[in-house]
Structure 1
């Protein structure tokens, strides 16, 4: 592994930690069986929690090494050398805020998404809301009146904990045929 945290890895780590919290005492195999994460990745996760004192070894549970959760907070993701990895993103914070609010404005999203380690500016929140509205994730509840009030949105497609993001695709477009003739990495 390159040490880079992907959204999938972050989701797996969150899922595994939630299982550990619920069980209180667990083995590598318990976490692997309940999450579907491979035993090798589960072992790596539990060892990283142990290195940060989030869990402690308690001896054997049956014939397997057992662990007990020491704290109720999710441990900070860390590289193998122990340095912390930043896993918090502006898009992730905005998406979580949208999932928790019924009707919201970009100002609401910016306010609910700011943390000590991740700043979300109002223009970024406006841009993210507009992108999600174009993609059909958000419905405009109240139109904006320039200079007087901003648009209000409602989340219509809550597809899960990972934030939707815009992707740029490289393609070859043939103006003679008025169609895409090649999509890089696609079909």
Structure 2
């Protein structure tokens, strides 16, 4: 097989992964590499066209590929044990992420918005902790093909990172790990952030419990404000009233049933509740159902 030089960081990661294995499946690449679906699929397809990846065996619906010389392989692909390699790969990846979280960043290619559309899209993705590709497309700020090119340019520049999965959908972020930590710290120090932190620590609590937590700070944390915040979060699906039978308002007891992370849900004036951890609106007053519970 001829020499090959990957074109970007994600391609380089995929190439290192498949070259470290005797055989692999597309599912293996998805599980161990951070590239998005379209980049991963297109790159593997391109490697196949270049004869750098070949189909080794097919077992039912599972296809085993190899980036090695097929003549050097033999036996049942399903019986090849790669557990030690998998464990080492996970360990190396975790070490890299810890280093990144400690502020040891990797050099990235320079990138700046080239058009007004790029600037609008950049402001959109930087306005929330994480997002899906479908969410960006739904804003209709640019034609779909331009949105795709925009996200691809961010990924090539190392500015678009995987932010996990939710209900099978991949999420991305345009923030570095250190930026996310600083953003979370700033939000946790706000009034709502401190109340939210107290809720997460207690899990089950009353208004009186929160008032005791902020005793001596009544000017900043009034009963009215705390009660209003709790009431709105209950409507948004974050809190549940655990009272039974006929009880007074003073004995209202909450249970935090939706803990999405350290960033506090923000109540807007409408009022609207937004969740910075998920980058979306989860409740609007007047709506009969909430997104938080669907």
Common fold by TM > 0.5:
no
The structure richer in helix per residue is 2
Higher relative contact order structure (alpha carbons within 8 Å, sequence separation ≥ 6): 1
The structure richer in strand per residue is 1
TM-score category (smaller protein): 0.3 to 0.5
